[in-house]
Amino acid sequence: MLKFIFWSLLLANAGLLAYQLGYLEAWIPDGHEPARMKRQVHAESMKPMSTAAIAAALAPAAATNAAAANTAAAPVCREIGNFDNAAAKRFEALLQPLALGDKLSRRDIEEVANHIVYIPSLGSKEAADKKAAELRRLGVADFYVIQDAGDFRWGISLGVFRTEDAARALLAAMNQKGVHSARLGLHSVAATKVAYRLRNLDAAALAGLDKATAEFPRVETHSCDLTASAVDKTAVPTDKQSFPRDVVR
C-alpha cells in the first residue's frame, strides 16, 4: 500500500513538473501570454488604440442612442374631440386617475349640420310611433321622432350631417334595409360639443389617455403644438381649430 502511494505521488509530481516546463503545451495549452499570442490569427494586423481614438469611434453610436432616448422621452400634446355632454363627463371621469391637473384643458365647439336624412311628417304622434316600431323591426336603432313645430313635426330624423356625401351614404344604407320612405333634405341643426387638449404627457399618461380614448371610437385625435398657449376653457374655436365631424346627433 505504501509503495502504491509513493509511486502515485512520484508520478503526480513528475506530471506537474512537465506541465510547468512546457512539455505538455501541445496537449494542455495554458491560455496565457505569451503562448496565447502565438495562436492569434493575423496578430500582426492588430494595432493599439488610444483612449481618444476609442472615444471618437464610439461617439456616433452614443449620439444616436442619446437622440433615440430623447425622442422616446419627449412630452406629447394631444387634441381629442368632439364629445357630447354625456360623453364628455364619462371621458373626464376616466382621466381622473391620471391626475393631469393643468395639463388638461377643454373648450366648447359649436357644430352646425345642414343635411338631414329623414322620414317626412306622419301627421300624428301615434303614426310616428308606429313607424318607429317598424324601423326597429328593420334593424334601425339610431333615430328620433321630431316633435318641434314646423314642417318636420312628427317626422323621423335618421341623421343630420355636415356634408351631403355623408348624408347620401346613410340614405343608401337605409334603402338597403328597406326604409324606402327616407328622404334627403336641408335642415340646420346646431349642437355644442366638447374638445380637450392634453399637454406635456409622459409615457405613462399617454398610455392612460389611449386607454380612455379607446372607449370612444367615434371621437378624433390629433397631435398639437406644445409651444401653443393653453386654450381657454370657455373659448369657441374657429373652423380651423374645430374637429371635422360629419354627423351631429
DSSP state of 229: P
Q: Does 143 score more than 50 pLDDT?
A: yes
The helices-and-strands tally (H runs, E runs) of the chain is 7, 7
Is residue 47 a part of any domain in this protein? Answer: no
pLDDT tens for 95-106 read: 999 999 999 999
Give me the pLDDT at residue 180, please.
Answer: 94
Report pLDDT for 51: 72
| 3-state secondary structure (DSSP) of residue 68 | helix
Q: State mean pLDDT over 201-227.
A: 86
Q: Is residue 34 included in any domain, yes or no?
A: no
Is 61 within the bounds of a domain?
Answer: no
Say whether 57 sits in a helix, a strand or coil: helix
Per-residue confidence (pLDDT) for residue 25, from 0 to 100 = 61
149-207 pLDDT per residue, tens: 888 899 999 988 888 998 999 999 999 999 999 999 998 888 788 999 999 999 999 99
- Domain count along the chain: 1
Please state the rounded mean pLDDT for residues 134-155.
Answer: 91
pLDDT at residue number 41: 57
Q: Minimal CA–CA distance to 114: which of 176, 186, 193, 48?
A: 186
Lowest mean pLDDT among 16-30, 53-67, 142-156: 16-30
Query: pLDDT class for 112, splitting at 50, 70, 90?
Result: confident
**Has residue 99 been placed in a domain?**
yes
Where in the sequence is the domain holding 127, given as residue range(s)?
75-249
> In this predicted model, which residue has the larger pLDDT, 239 or 4?
4
The answer as to whether 20 is a domain residue is: no
The x, y and z cell numbers of residue 132, run together, are: 318607429
Residue 51 lies in a domain: no
Task: Tell me what the pLDDT averaged over the chain comes to.
Answer: 78
Q: Is residue 57 part of a domain?
A: no
Predicted confidence at residue 56, as pLDDT, reads 72
The pLDDT tens digits of the residues spanning 31-47 come to 455 555 555 555 556 66
Peptide bond into 13 cis (omega under 30): no
Instruction: Determine the pLDDT at residue 6.
Output: 72
Which has more confidence, 104 or 16?
Answer: 104
Q: What band does 138 get if pLDDT is binned at 50, 70 and 90?
A: very high
Per-residue pLDDT, averaged over 137-157, amounts to 90
Q: Which residue has the cell 317626412?
A: 120
Q: How confident is the model at residue 20 (pLDDT cuts 50, 70, 90)?
A: low
Confirm whether 10 is domain-assigned: no
